[in-house]
Amino acid sequence: MKTNLQKINRQMKLSEDDFAKVFKEVKTSIEHGVANANAEFKKNPEQFDFRGARAIYATSAIKKLFRRSIYTNDSMYNMIRHLLSHGVDYFLVKGKFLLCIKKMDKKGRVSSFYSKRFQETINGGKVKYSNKMLDVLSQLGILKPLPIYFAGYVLDKAGRLDNIFLVNYEQGQVENVISLKELFEPNLFNIAADKNEANNVEELVKVKKKGTSRKVSNN
């Protein structure tokens, strides 16, 4: 997990703060989007009986929330741009890479996306940009193909959210996979670390108020 995170972060060329800011928002959008979609499925089950309908609706619900988070947050808006190419939504992150949100299976493979163009992309071919997308990238000074990463939601057999993966492919195979659910979900270890860090800061403030800058540690 740690090795994959280091590899992806190095490839993306993002700071730790920017990585956390973007992908925490991705995680939140997926969690809320899947929940909203499942609520709609329960209200209108017959409407989503045909093949692929639920995945299409859930993915659209997630992307709508993610786009909203971009447009309502200045720091996100300055980092991410929404692009569309051949019917596929991409999010250009800091001009460094493309992010695509899709449904995945438990092995980190994108499902419900079997076009020839996509298969060529994950098999090592260049991402096929539409002319409109090429024009936008050119205006931004981006003249070469960008790496593409996929954020995928994984459902259990009951259609509930099971995991959230960040994946990139190399020659048709998963190169790196990270669970965003595990990465950003509080657990006993990081809660204890955060609490200890907060206590250290509080003690340092108390010492400074007494007229000294001596650092105090609880360890």
pTM passes above 0.95: no
- Which is nearest to 26 in space by CA: 66, 74, 68? 66
Residues 126 and 48 placed together within one structural domain of the fold: yes
Residues 47 and 112 placed together within one structural domain of the fold: yes
Residues 33 and 120 placed together within one structural domain of the fold: yes
Contact between residue 104 and residue 155 where contact means Cβ atoms under 8 Å apart: no
Reported as a single tens digit per residue, the pLDDT across 18-68 is 999 999 999 999 999 999 999 999 998 888 888 789 999 999 999 999 999
Tokens of 175: 């190169």
Range of the domain at 207: 186-219
Contact between residue 162 and residue 106 where contact means Cβ atoms under 8 Å apart: yes
Residues 176 and 114 placed together within one structural domain of the fold: yes
9: exposed, middle or buried (C-beta count within 10 Å: 0-12, 13-18, 19+)?
Answer: middle
Contact between residue 110 and residue 150 where contact means Cβ atoms under 8 Å apart: yes
Tokens of 62: 């997630």
Q: Does residue 198 surpass a pLDDT of 70?
A: no
Residues 135 and 210 placed together within one structural domain of the fold: no
Residues 196 and 173 placed together within one structural domain of the fold: no
Residues 32 and 107 placed together within one structural domain of the fold: yes
Reported as a single tens digit per residue, the pLDDT across 57-112 is 999 999 999 999 999 999 999 999 999 988 889 999 999 999 999 999 998 888 75
Residue 194: which pLDDT band, with cuts at 50, 70 and 90?
very low
Residues 14 and 77 placed together within one structural domain of the fold: yes
Residues 190 and 126 placed together within one structural domain of the fold: no
Residues 120 and 212 placed together within one structural domain of the fold: no
Residues 6+ apart with CB under 8 A from 20: 184
Confidence at residue 9, expressed as pLDDT on a 0 to 100 scale: 86
How many domains would you assign to the chain?
2
Residues 47 and 152 placed together within one structural domain of the fold: yes
Residues 53 and 112 placed together within one structural domain of the fold: yes
